[in-house]
Chains A and B, each alone.
Chain A
């Protein structure tokens, strides 16, 4: 287990290095002069030249690259074009907001999909199962921004129960969490159901039923325990997708998270912030992936000995 953790943590080093190299390349891949971009389109020539010198854009590429890498590993990702704040300061609080949204949405999706998936498998091929299947199919085909807009219209405008945007109280969490969580719940319900249908078809289920175990125990103890392994895998993948979906959800609800910061910085051409948010998003994905791998190894000892 420790070898696995160390191995995966070591994998993060080249990954981070590649990532920073890509962010450096971003300066030069984006069409246009980086100095003009930092100065603003209407900046006078002297300002542009000043920035070119200050940022070292007049130096050869390998020197620029070395400087950039050195700066990033000292925790300096530059300053925002607009607020003039260090990028790290604007990004870090956003990460916590995104984490809250993603974590609660995933929790919602896990609870809903486990319940619906198990119930659906219990009533396999009967009206209740068909109903759940149709609802989850509709959920998969409805993008989060459609669910979000319908939610805002119904609960915030028509009924006036919930706030439209922001995150200042627990009531602000309800719509974004359900919007993001229900898409994920729909995806996961289908998969949990098929795992459970598989598990319920096994011989040990027939044995359990034959010895007179109540149906509730058969489903939630015998079948669910054995179906848990693929389900944990699915939840791991789901967490990554939830983080990806948070970008759109944050934009709908004006959630002050990392995703909205990234999108806004792209739209306003605030390159340092874009680089910073891509950097942290990528590190989060790599970390989440690592955690999920560790959870597999913990749940399924066979992986540990591989």
Chain B
């Protein structure tokens, strides 16, 4: 672990954007206490005031402070995407491990179904699930998680297939261990690292799709702020208040950019061969 950090720290871009990402997570965790104004407070006397010393990013059509709303939206995004990522891992990984280890017709049916779902873009799957689960915070978490789960099924099955041929698994079978014990004790510890890395790598995809859903009006509902939804509202006021798009757009791009670059840096640190090719 210390070796990992030592090698990671050599990657300057990775360190910079890692720090930025940590900062964003810090903002998300402390959002309630660091907003300069109440992100929900309607003030009809200060509607559409351009950026100023009191409102750094201006105010929206209800006179709400944009900076405060962007900060609170960071928390919403981090919460939704982390939970969705966890949901995808918790549904996809057990299925992938089970069918990869068991094999047989269960495996072929599951993989056929997974391949079929992988034909569809994640955003489409998420929209279809939202129709059922409803555009609430939980609904969006379930939708994004389920939409990404097939990818985790496929990856997990792949690594499980190679691990189950190992001698220690054979030894465990010979010693009379049940399949559940083998999966939990022998296979999971050996596949957890690539899967956790994969989960971090897909984080930007979760963020992009979560904000796309809320841009479409199918995500977290107002008045709770979300970047995509703030941009959707800003679109109606582009002529008189174009500054409304600056805050949410910048926050979204910076978040996705940092998450992408940190993912790349982590992958390169774990697998130095990748770097040579670049």
Contact = CB atoms under 8 A, between A and B. Distances in A.
B120 A285 contact: yes
B131 A266 contact: yes
Interface string A141-170: 111111001101100010000000000000
Contacts of A141: 204, 253, 256-257, 260
B123 A248 contact: yes
A197 B277 contact: yes
B216 A251 contact: yes
A205 to B, nearest CB: 16
Contacts of B195: none
Interface string B112-133: 0000100111111001101110
A289 interface: yes
A157 B236 CA distance: 12
Nearest to A275: B131
B63 interface: no
A138 B245 contact: no
Contacts, number: 104
Given A140-B260, A146-B231, A248-B216, A15 B116 contact: yes
Contacts of B266: none
Nearest to A145: B215
Interface in A247-306: 247-248, 251-252, 262-263, 266-267, 274, 278, 281-282, 285-286, 289
Given A141-B204, A248-B216, A146 B253 contact: yes
A157 B238 contact: yes
Nearest to B131: A266
B231 A145 contact: yes
Contacts of B212: 143-145, 248
A243 interface: yes
A9 to B, nearest CB: 15
Nearest to A271: B131
- Looking at chain B's contact residues, the main secondary structure is helix
Given A140-B260, A143-B252, A263-B217, A149 B245 contact: yes
Contacts of B235: 149, 152, 252
A29 interface: yes
A30 interface: yes
Contacts of A150: 245, 249
A214 to B, nearest CB: 26
A244 interface: yes
Nearest to B264: A137
B267 interface: no
A241 interface: yes
B222 interface: no
Given A143-B208, A143-B211, A149-B234, A29 B260 contact: no
Contacts of A241: 121
Nearest to A244: B121
A252 B245 CA distance: 14
Contacts of B39: none
Nearest to A250: B216
Contacts of A145: 211-212, 215, 228, 231-232
A150 B246 CA distance: 10
A79 to B, nearest CB: 19
Nearest to B116: A15
B124 A267 contact: no
A152 B204 CA distance: 25
Contacts of A144: 212
A289 B277 CA distance: 30
B12 to A, nearest CB: 14
Contact of B238 (A137, A152, A281): A152
Interface in B172-228: 204, 208, 211-212, 215-218, 228
Nearest to A240: B121
A262 B127 contact: yes
B231 A149 contact: yes
B41 interface: no
B260 A157 contact: no
A31 interface: yes
A281 B124 contact: yes
A26 interface: yes
Contacts of A262: 127
B215 to A, nearest CB: 5
The 8 closest A-B pairs by CB, nearest first: A244-B121, A141-B257, A141-B256, A146-B249, A29-B132, A145-B215, A289-B119, A244-B123
Interface of A: 15, 18, 26, 29-31, 137-138, 140-146, 149-150, 152-153, 157, 194, 197-198, 240-241, 243-245, 247-248, 251-252, 262-263, 266-267, 274, 278, 281-282, 285-286, 289
10 contacts: A26-B132, A141-B204, A145-B215, A145-B228, A149-B231, A152-B238, A197-B277, A266-B130, A267-B217, A267-B218
Given A244-B120, A286-B119, 8 more contacts: A141-B204, A142-B256, A143-B212, A145-B211, A240-B120, A240-B121, A247-B124, A266-B131
